[in-house]
Chain A
Amino acid sequence: MHSDIETKVISGAGEWPRPTSRQQMLVWSRLGVQSFGGGTATLALIRRAVVDELHWITAEEFTTYWALVLMVPGINLLGLTVLIGKQIGGTKGVAIALFGLLFPSVTITILLTALYSKVQHSHSVVSALSGVIPATVGVGLFTSLQIAFPVLKNCTKRGAKSLTIALALLLGSAAIEAAAHWPVVAILLTSGALGAATQFAGAPKRDRQK
């Protein structure tokens, strides 16, 4: 670590006076309160704040961080929050970022759920949910497709064989989930291993295909 990291944030955007813990907390908790509408809204708000308004990190760094956290287990937005917090304030910055973002949003989520538990049998709530639940399924299907889409696109570029393997893994996982009673982790790890094995076989220097 640089000695001057104590006072300055060094990023591709230049050197900036390091925001105080209080300033960091204010920014993250503002994001935690305002980001109604799930992940899409939260990602857009974080980006606007830390890249466009505060210049804590550059647009390029933001993109790199996002690509990286897609490979990290768990909620990608929390991984992103961890990386930005780390860059701005080190380990303490990580704690501030997570607490600032999660305290308001988790509290509101619990309150919404509690409120829902109270009113769930009222006629207007039941009728509204008869529309909202199918819509959540539709939105969820799109989010799932978005996870697979970059992979399918990548495989299409590589050729028919690669795309066939990809579709087989996607549809095979769906079929096993629908018809067999495998533990989900087993399906996931099998698919990952098959993906690794087929990529491995296709790599030019290490052709181990049997």
Chain B
Amino acid sequence: MHFLVYLWLFFKASLFSTGGTGNLPSLHDDLLPRHWATNRQFAESLTIGQISPGPSGLWVISLGYLTAGVPGSLLALVAITLPPLLAIGVRRLYQRVRHHPSAEGFMQGLALSICGISAVILCILLRSNGISIKSLAISIAALSLAATKKIPIAVILAIAAIAGIITF
């Protein structure tokens, strides 16, 4: 494994995406064919990212650790810290490009695409973990609970853990 390539893949995924898990499609696309990560490691690091403090985007720190140890997680940290610095420049440009139709259209096309691709990848992750009536029921229940926006994500995952232990 080349650490520069590893850093570049994480950086590229973060630079061409937005949101904490927007980099998921790109990383999945790049790491899997190289056998640098497995579907299982993706699912596990997403889970740890939801539980641990800070942005859920820190899931890549966990992915870095699972795939390349502490150096991997530090490279992932560098990769996710740099792109948000562009916020300073964007704030300066804000007044000028905010209402330009094609800029707005580009951002919207990006958001729709991220949603579609992420949904497919999440379904692949679910399938790699084994699809059953139980797992589908837990997914749908968790989605519904998240949609209420009133229950902390950590609580939803704790309930799911208990459900998993009881029904195993």
Contact = CB atoms under 8 A, between A and B. Distances in A.
Interface residues of A, number: 103
Contact of B139 (A73, A137, A206): A137
Given A131-B162, A132-B160, A109 B48 contact: yes
Interface string A139-154: 1111111011011101
A196 B84 contact: no
Given A41-B153, A131-B164, A196-B105, A75 B84 contact: yes
Contacts of B167: 130-131
A74 B136 contact: no
Interface residues of B, number: 104
A127 interface: yes
Interface in A62-112: 65, 68-83, 86, 94, 98, 101-102, 104-106, 108-110, 112
Contacts of A183: 29
Contacts of B163: 131
A42 B56 CA distance: 9
Interface string A41-69: 11000000000000000000000010011
Given A37-B154, A132-B157, A75 B112 contact: no
* A contact face: mostly helix, strand, loop, or mixed: helix
B165 A38 contact: no
Contact of B51 (A37, A40, A142): A37
Interface of B: 12, 14-23, 25-26, 28-29, 43-58, 61-62, 65-66, 70, 73, 77, 80-88, 90-91, 94, 101-123, 125-126, 129, 134-136, 138-144, 146-147, 149, 152-157, 159-165, 167-168
Question: Nearest 3 CB-CB pairs, A to B?
Answer: A195-B109, A131-B164, A199-B105
